[in-house]
Each structure stands twice: as structure tokens, then as C-alpha cells.
Copies of this chain bind each other. A is one copy, B any other.
Amino acid sequence: MTTQHDPQGEALTERQQAVLDAVLALMVEQGGELTMTAVARRASCSKETLYKWFGDRDGLLTATVRWQASKVRAGNYDRQRLDVSALRDSLIRFAANWLSVISSPTSIALNRLAIAQGGKGGKGAGNLGAIVLANGRFAIGERLRPVFEAGREAGLIAFADTETAFRSFIGLVGRDVQIRLLLGDRLDLAGPEIERDAARATDQFLALYGTGNHAPGRPTINA
């Protein structure tokens, strides 16, 4: 009630960003520990400063999640030309990017944290999960929506509900990757593997929702 800590504004000092990066690094390299003392030591700052800047432990965690989310916002997946090839490329590019994000150690650690304290029926910060969801899954959906709808208006793909189609796409791309990684399964997706999975998922999606005009896998000349 004294002062509002981190009042939704992105007013983060260089130093503060460095501290949050230290939190991220700590989360990644040694799982769930993450004590305030460890953070202070790692970031070479005093605990007093930590509490002054972020209020309490939950404030620090929330700020960290937001900070990471603000770093991930990436490319826009243009929808200028509207032929099948361009749509397919956009989808593949998106899928590959998303796969590499969700399989990155940072994302795994962050999701693990949000899930861990997601069920704390108690008072304060049960919203980490909501923040991750809003900045991860839902932001992604909002970003891809125009691509889907442009594809539909161009008659390349057909579906009644954009959200439903999008969720099918998500399922084909991600499959059980995220839950397995969260549960500690090895299963490191290398670069080419990601690329291959992205292409497979996209082609499957187009096979399901494509209108058949210039359907992929029915090559004119190329492959």
C-alpha cells in the first residue's frame, strides 16, 4: 500500500533488466530453487534493493515473467501475397518459431514456475499462470489469426471457426512436446528436426483445412 511496485509500465532500468535476466538464468540452470538470497547473490545486488524494486517475491516473479514475455514478441508473419506457397511458408515459419520457443530452457523453466504456483489457492499471486497464458498461448493466437483469415478470404483454406482451426494447428505442431519437456523428458529438438516437424504439421493442417486449390504435396514442378 506504500508504493505501487512496477505499475504495469515498462519503466525498467537497465539494472533492473539485468536483475530479471539473472532471475531467468537462475531459473534455467538450477530448476526450481530460486531463493531471494540466490537471486541477490547472482545479480550482485542487495536483497533490500530487490524488495524495494519489486515489493516481494511474487512481484519479482511477475516482473520476470513479464520481462521475458516482452522479449519474445517476434516477427509478424506477413500476409501480403496470398497464394498457397506464401501461406504455407508463413505457417511453417510460425510453427518452427513456436516450437523453438516452447522447447527453449527459458520457456520450460518459466512455465514450470507458473504451473507450480498456479494452484496456490491462497491470497496473493495465483496469476502467474494467467500472465504466461496471456503473453504466450493467447498472444500467439492473436498474432496468427490474421494469417488464417487472410488465407480463408483468399479461398485457400476453409473453416467455420478461426479459433477451432487454430487449435487444430497448434495440436499438430506441438503435439505432446510441451508436457513431456515439462515433466522432465529429454527430447531435445535440434534445428533441422524443428524445421521438419513444422513442415509436416503445416502440410497436415493444409490437408485438413485446405480447399484443394493447389494443394501442397501435389507439386506442379517443384517439390
Contact = CB atoms under 8 A, between A and B. Distances in A.
Interface string A20-59: 0000000000111100000000000000000000000000
Given A170-B175, A175-B167, A176-B167, A129 B183 contact: yes
Report the copy number of this chain in the oligomer.
2
A173 B168 CA distance: 9
A170 B174 CA distance: 10
B184 A121 contact: no
Given A137-B183, A170-B175, A172-B172, 20 more contacts: A31-B121, A32-B117, A32-B118, A32-B119, A33-B120, A33-B121, A111-B179, A111-B183, A115-B182, A115-B183, A116-B116, A129-B182, A130-B184, A130-B185, A171-B171, A171-B175, A174-B176, A182-B182, A204-B208, A208-B208
